[in-house]
Amino acid sequence: MDSERAEGERYFRRILELIDKHHKLFKHVIPLIASENIPSPAVREALACDFGNRYAEGWPGERLYAGCKYVDEVETIALELAKKVYEAEFADVRPISGVMANLVAYTLFTEPGDLMIALPIPYGGHISHGKQKWGGTAGVVRGLKVDRYEFDEENYEIDIDATRRRIEKKGLKPRLFMLGASVFLFPHPVKEVAELAAEFDAKVVYDAAHVAGLIAGKVFQDPLREGADMMTLSTHKTLAGPQHGMVLSWNKYAEDIKRIVFPGLHSNHHLHAVAGVAIALAEALAFYREYARKIVENAKALAQALYERGIRVLYEHRGFTESHTIIADVSEYMNGLEAEKLLERANIILNRNLIPKDYKLKTDYRAPSGIRMGVQEVTRLGMNKSEMIEIAELIKKVLIDKKSPEEVAKEVVELRKDFQHVKYAFTSGIEAYEHILIR
Ligand SMILES: *Cc1c(COP(=O)(O)O)cnc(C)c1O
């Protein structure tokens, strides 16, 4: 019917207009969400290719679908690159996200009702490591019980001795020790946790969602060498690929992992994203030693500049961070939600976050005491120390000087003008946030 055609077309135009507005917005903001990044134009091209309309269940060369000749070759390259970049015996690039990669780990190493040790969210933990009470994936989907590491809030690190005492005192029998975090400032004690796990014949999984690009660039830590049985990751945070996941492990687990990924947890595995992951890994091989080093340098520079301007960035005594992420306590001015909203009006995009002191305060996660910032995206746009200082000044104007966010937004647009291309990638011809039209 004509009216339905017209109605459909109105929706259609509105959707495309909104996508276009989003692209224009991101050209003009300072993107500081620690879990995001801007992929290269080549990765974005992969995401638009026909792979994304196909099926390829199974392993390359053993598919249950026809037409997979080139898909198979690309996935084989992705596997080869993943094993090279992470020096892993075995890789599976089919998990479609970090959470799904964690589910692969839970399925392999635990049975429902088993106990896992993980970090609570105020100490950096991720909801996929969480217990049922909080709606966490480990509890809700795999039926795991979850206890926590003892955590040294002063130094932002897992306290191994206190954790051992806690386990003994409570008579716990852990099957799995989860490491990795969403606020991941310093390397985790993988070796010490692996020694503790060995006492219980338990496994160690390292969730590298946030730091996958840093590990690829050899600047953070090397979990597989330090004793992890498996490393899981998201490919779109510091790794700057498309939104997808991956597991890396040892040959002794290979066949079990393959069966769990398919048919256990996936049917189609987003083949266009696999192509994008392959491209991101090739870029990692070529460029990420430099990119990762620059990220950490910029994170420290931003932290220092904010700190000097009176913003309470945490862990100054440890150099603030060894990763892309920093956290600040803003509770002397406002809560994290208010800070996030004000800064968003100033075109500075970051998120509110629970910080360690919120654990004992039992602060509502919707209005936490802190904010979290990651510099991986601004670094990929080519920013350096001098821009970190400018960003710190802009944040101070909003949070401390109480300047009008809309006025500060104009300065942000000005700062962003010269940073419109993706660096540390093979192609940078088109603008980073260009809305590519193929309709
Ligand atoms: C982001 C994140 C995940 C989830 O990754 P998705 O790819 O969004 O599913 C898992 N674990 C940690 C620690 C994370 O930070």
Residue 1: per-residue pLDDT? 66
Of 126, 214, 244, the one to substitute when testing ligand 1's pocket (max ligand atoms within 8 A of C-beta) is: 126
For residue 429, the model assigns a pLDDT of 81
Rg for the chain (alpha carbons), in Å? 22
Q: Is the CB of 32 under 6 A from ligand 1?
A: no
Any idea which architecture 44-282 has in CATH?
3-Layer(aba) Sandwich (3.40)
Taking 70 as the pLDDT cut, the residues of the chain under it are 1
Question: pLDDT tens digits for 241-269?
Answer: 999 999 999 999 999 999 999 999 999 99
Which stretches within 318-404 are classed as H helix? 336-345, 357-361, 376-380, 385-399
Using the atom order of ligand 1, give the atom closest to the CA of residue 236. 7
Alpha-carbon distance 302 to 170, whole Å? 42
Q: Which atom of ligand 1 is nearest to the CA of 125?
A: 13
The alpha carbon of 439 and the centre of ligand 1 are apart by a number of angstroms equal to: 32
Best of 33, 35, 231, 266 for a ligand 1 pocket test (most atoms within 8 Å of beta carbon): 35
Separation CA 199–CA 262 (nearest Å): 32
Is ligand 1 within 6 A of the CB of residue 235?
Answer: no
Contact 82, 219 (CB under 8 A): no
Atom of ligand 1 nearest to the CA of 97: 7
Q: What is the pLDDT of residue 66?
A: 96
**CA–CA distance, 21 with 367 (Å, rounded to integer):** 28
C-alpha 237 to ligand 1 mean position (Å): 9
CA-proximal residue: ligand 1, atom 3 (nearest): 98
pLDDT for position 439 = 85
Closest residue by Cα to atom 6, ligand 1, is: 98
Q: Ligand 1: distance of its center to the CA of 244 in Å?
A: 10
Question: Ligand 1 pocket test: which of 99, 137, 185, 323 has the largest number of ligand atoms within 8 Å of its C-beta?
Answer: 99
**CB-ligand 1 contact for 98 (6 Å cutoff):** yes
Ligand 1 pocket, 209 CB below 6 A?
Answer: yes
CA-closest residue to ligand 1 atom 5:
98
Structure tokens at 6: 């017209």
What is the predicted pLDDT for the residue at 65? 95
pLDDT of residue 427: 79
- Give the Å distances, CA to CA, from 374 to 298, 371, 378, 406: 9, 10, 9, 23
- Residue tagged 């460029």 (tokens): 287
Torsion of CA 404, 406, 407, 411, to 10 degrees: 130
- Of 100, 102, 234, 243, the one to substitute when testing ligand 1's pocket (max ligand atoms within 8 A of C-beta) is 234
Ligand 1 geometric centre to CA of 13 (Å): 33
**Shortest-distance Cα residue to atom 15 of ligand 1:** 182
Dist. CA 281 → ligand 1 center (Å): 18
Task: Report the distance separating Cα 252 and Cα 91, nearest Å.
Answer: 12
Instruction: Give 257-299 as a DSSP string.
Output: HHHIIIIII-S---HHHHHHHHHHHHHHHHHHHHHHHHHHHHH
Q: How far, in Å, is the centroid of ligand 1 from the Cα of 288?
A: 21
What is the pLDDT, as a whole number, of residue 138?
A: 98
The pTM of the full predicted model, rounded to 2 decimals, is 0.97
Ligand 1: does its nearest atom lie under 6 Å from the Cβ of 182?
A: yes
Domain boundaries, the chain: 44-282
